Amino acid sequence: GENVGLHLPTLSVQEGDNSIINCAYSNSASDYFIWYKQESGKGPQFIIDIRSNMDKRQGQRVTVLLNKTVKHLSLQIAATQPGDSAVYFCVTGAGSYQLTFGKGTKLSVIP
């Protein structure tokens, strides 16, 4: 079955620095990739997505990179702010309604 894992369960970053959150996936059929942010006591919030025919996509202060060769996904957050403190989930889809969530990386921003 699908196994979506993360290289680091926790990440501490100084305010103003850039953050990089990594994710490894195992399902070769995965063709859609999403990053969600979950703040304490809230539901997951969509950040950015990317399809398998792309290797990079940029949003506001966020960039997602996809390396299909090694089945690796990363989320880069520029100029990290205290409001970025949350758990970030790497999520994969393979053409069905069943998305697969990773366990999450907790990002802590140090003021």
Partner 1 sequence: NAGVTQTPKFQVLKTGQSMTLQCAQDMNHNSMYWYRQDPGMGLRLIYYSASEGTTDKGEVPNGYNVSRLNKREFSLRLESAAPSQTSVYFCASSENWETQYFGPGTRLLVL
Residues that bind partner 1 (CB under 8 A): 4, 32, 34, 36, 41-46, 49, 89, 91, 93, 95-99, 101-104
Region at 28 (left for phi over 0; alpha for psi -120 to 50; beta for the rest): alpha
Q: C-beta of 55: minimal distance to partner 1 in Å?
A: 19
Q: C-beta of 103: minimal distance to partner 1 in Å?
A: 5
Q: C-beta of 90: minimal distance to partner 1 in Å?
A: 9
Can you read off the two tokens belonging to residue 20? 């990089």
CA distance 86 to 78: 15
